[in-house]
Amino acid sequence: MAYDEELADRVRESLSPRDGLTERKMFGGIAFMLSGNMAAGVLRDELMVRVGPDGYDAALADGAAPMTMGERTMGGFVTVGADQVADPATLDAWVARGADHAAALPPK
């Protein structure tokens, strides 16, 4: 299993009220897209959140870590550990950050 399917189900449920939700295999995990823009995803047992450049520092201050792929840091993306998103309200808050950022972008 390349990603935690239970966490993916929780993210899917959190995003289900949003319009334009699709899923795509990405980064060896699963990404959740809103109108073609990535909002959040699951890689292994971590939540990936697209917060954008303007939300990046605040997300790090709130306990997220920079998202890295190999040696490269992915600007505007953070990861949130499994222990941090065990609480449903905390997961929903992180997913909402990604969804709000994705909704602010032009549809693809």
Domains contained in the chain, number: 1
Secondary structure (DSSP) of the chain? --B-HHHHHHHHHHHTTSTTEEEEEETTEEEEEETTEEEEEEEBTEEEEE-HHHHHHHHHHTT-EEEEETTEEEEEEEEE-TTTTSSHHHHHHHHHHHHHHHHTSPP-
What is the token pair recorded at 46?
Answer: 């971590």
Q: Identify whether 108 is part of a domain.
A: no
Instruction: Tell if the pTM clears 0.75, that is, is over it.
Output: yes
Encode the chain (108 residues) as per-residue pLDDT tens digits.
Answer: 589 999 999 999 999 999 999 999 987 899 999 999 999 999 999 999 999 999 999 999 999 999 998 899 999 999 999 999 999 999 999 999 999 999 999 998
Per the structure, the complete domain to which residue 20 belongs is given by 5-103
Q: Identify whether 50 is part of a domain.
A: yes
Q: How many CA atoms lie within 13 A of 68 on its CB side?
A: 5
Q: Identify whether 75 is part of a domain.
A: yes
Q: What is the pLDDT at residue 26? A: 87
Q: Identify whether 44 is part of a domain.
A: yes
Q: What is the pLDDT at residue 1? A: 53
Cβ neighbours around 20 below 10 Å, total: 15
Q: Identify whether 42 is part of a domain.
A: yes
